[in-house]
Structure 1
């Protein structure tokens, strides 16, 4: 009999997992709280080679390469816009994949949504789960409309504020790291053919990454502050103010910041479950189990690796038990821990004003680890 899996959460991790599980021959239901399926959320995303490696397994790599912007370099600029160095970025996903693809996040989400639809999975939008009842072989799930279902496995891929994590009694919440980021989609500035990044100036980091032939996303990283300090209606004005001290592509970016609804302000947070990532037959994946600041641009990649590893184990093992779910966690934890700790460390060095930080060493160790298969 075909095994059944419920995936809770229709973001990058949940969508990719749904497609991978369907390809492995499982029956999959996906439930997503937002009725719009997160299809308009976010500005841009940076996908390094290890993320692209998983997206190839999902079957969407060609579309990602077509609609994104691939590059193999990174420019470091001084605050006035002078190019200080152009660095080659390692192809951690393999020589046949670009080092990095910048992409509009809503476009990536739509590609994954289309893949889920094409997979034959059953999708429920505007719904979530409210309770689990487990026995040794299955999980009885209650949804927020009062309906129920029974599954061989439930996977919580519902983000850093995971409701599934709370329902199974794992008491772990994300912690702020002391930094915050302003993000906005913008027209691609002239001459920006890869990520342009500034350390210092009015903010800790000012960056711009191309996401398409005509698009990019810009971001400014500062010390976090009270989220109510700036009204959302004035987000564009605040981001323009923070951008004033930068040259290079930033005057062009600044002029494009006119719509506050397109600008996102969030705190950097850290989350890492040190104990088991499951309770019975309910398992966590992606940001529900670990999350980190975007300083290494590996958040989505770690989530994608999670769901690939989980699918491989589920497809290979006849018995789905504590041993399997523990092997999944144990296989992922060391790699995820390195990324979470490294991402937080990069930010802490900036917060502390450490001038002799071993950034090259950290980046080199990270790249070497990511070249290995998860």
Structure 2
């Protein structure tokens, strides 16, 4: 018997959806409360490393993800003018049966996961969140934002980097900016773009792109953070940044015409100290940890949280602090290493560190995440 019979998951993003799938298909009654009126996602594209793909395969959605995305097994490094400097085989962190990386459109991943949540039998409740949590020792009494109340064996806060659940638990922690901002655009993919290529230097710290499908890709430019409300003419600014780059970037620049298709965000980080639970409410995913996308491990770590927590809940006889401690033993150190490495890469860029061992750091993280958590 699972350690829980009914669970409330707050937040329908990657971590929350993955946990809902794993628990519901094992017979646990799952309510997934999503504050938005429908499951949508911001941003343009997403890069999924092999260890993320491993969990998506376990969720039973690998075929759909593979069909919707674009797989590749190497990373290109280019000079600002477009010349190829190096082609590096990428680590297959999900194992030999999966590609090293898949790029895909974020809304497509959200739709795939939402479909799997429904097929697993979980109930998605849109436009709803938790306003108050009362731990009763053997459960959690929840006052929901529609005024109703309900009781659950477990509540999981998977409501993102600005988690309201974190505040309800009395955890006073906010995401910290790293000093970098990223401009993203989703656009058409030229045939020659068949993997991620990165440029370090030029007008930006990083200029890169990633294929997301048969004829789509997303491109991004990382510079020093500017005030969120002072981005100004987004089209003109992003196009000006591309002028320092050649090759594929000439076509990308020409496609930057609609400000509504441009996404600008800051790089931020956050790591909740262990334990991530207060009684029978626990945080997972970006509610517990977040990092700049310098290692493209954000979604992977969210998916791993869900996989490990589901495994423990479905194999334990009871829910107590021992289970949460086991969850922390398997997750906290691994997540901390990813967050710290992602921040180190950002600091090296900000400080223009000449002897930064970027390949060494990336290799150490790749070796770690290749092992199952």
Give TM class, smaller chain.
Answer: over 0.9
Q: Which runs of 5+ in 1 are unaligned?
A: none
> Which of 6, 10, 19 is the matching residue for 2:21?
19
Contact 2:274 / 2:332 at 8 angstroms: preserved in 1?
no
In the alignment, which residue of structure 2 is the partner of 1:203? 204
Q: Could you tell me how far apart the structure 1 residues matched to 2:257 and 2:128 are?
A: 34
Q: Could you tell me how far apart the structure 1 residues matched to 2:228 and 2:122 are?
A: 38
Contact 1:178 / 1:223 at 8 angstroms: preserved in 2?
yes
Q: Cα deviation per residue 1:52-87 (whole Å; 9 max; x = unaligned)? A: 000011110111011100000111010001111111
Q: Could you tell me how far apart the structure 1 residues matched to 2:247 and 2:319 are?
A: 55
**Is 2:267 aligned against 1:268?**
yes
Contact 1:194 / 1:209 at 8 angstroms: preserved in 2?
yes
In the alignment, which residue of structure 2 is the partner of 1:158? 159
- Any idea what SS the aligned residue of 2:274 has? coil
- Any idea what SS the aligned residue of 1:246 has? coil
Q: Could you tell me how far apart the structure 2 residues matched to 1:230 and 1:93 are?
A: 38
In the alignment, which residue of structure 2 is the partner of 1:37? 39
- Any idea what SS the aligned residue of 2:186 has? strand
Contact 1:190 / 1:249 at 8 angstroms: preserved in 2?
no
Shift in Å, 1:117: 1.4
Q: Cα deviation per residue 1:119-147 (whole Å; 9 max; x = unaligned)? A: 11111111111001111111111111101
Q: Displaced runs of 4+ in structure 1, greater than 4 A?
A: none
In the alignment, which residue of structure 2 is the partner of 1:96? 97
Contact 1:74 / 1:195 at 8 angstroms: preserved in 2?
yes
TM-score, normalization by structure 1:
0.97
Q: Could you tell me how far apart the structure 2 residues matched to 1:24 and 1:177 are?
A: 40
Q: Which runs of 5+ in 2 are unaligned?
A: none
**Is 2:141 aligned against 1:140?**
yes
Q: Could you tell me how far apart the structure 2 residues matched to 1:235 and 1:15 are?
A: 33
**Is 2:284 aligned against 1:282?**
no
Shift in Å, 1:361: 1.1
Q: Could you tell me how far apart the structure 2 residues matched to 1:177 and 1:21 are?
A: 35
Contact 1:155 / 1:285 at 8 angstroms: preserved in 2?
yes
In the alignment, which residue of structure 2 is the partner of 1:46? 47
In the alignment, which residue of structure 2 is the partner of 1:362? 361
Shift in Å, 1:359: 0.9
Which one scores higher on RCO, CA 8 angstroms, separation ≥ 6? 2
Shift in Å, 1:355: 1.4
**Is 2:226 aligned against 1:221?**
no
Shift in Å, 1:13: 0.9
- Any idea what SS the aligned residue of 2:22 has? helix
Shift in Å, 1:276: 1.4
1:217-256 equivalent positions in 2, closer than 5 A: 217-231=218-232, 234-256=233-255
Shift in Å, 1:162: 0.4
Shift in Å, 1:236: 2.2
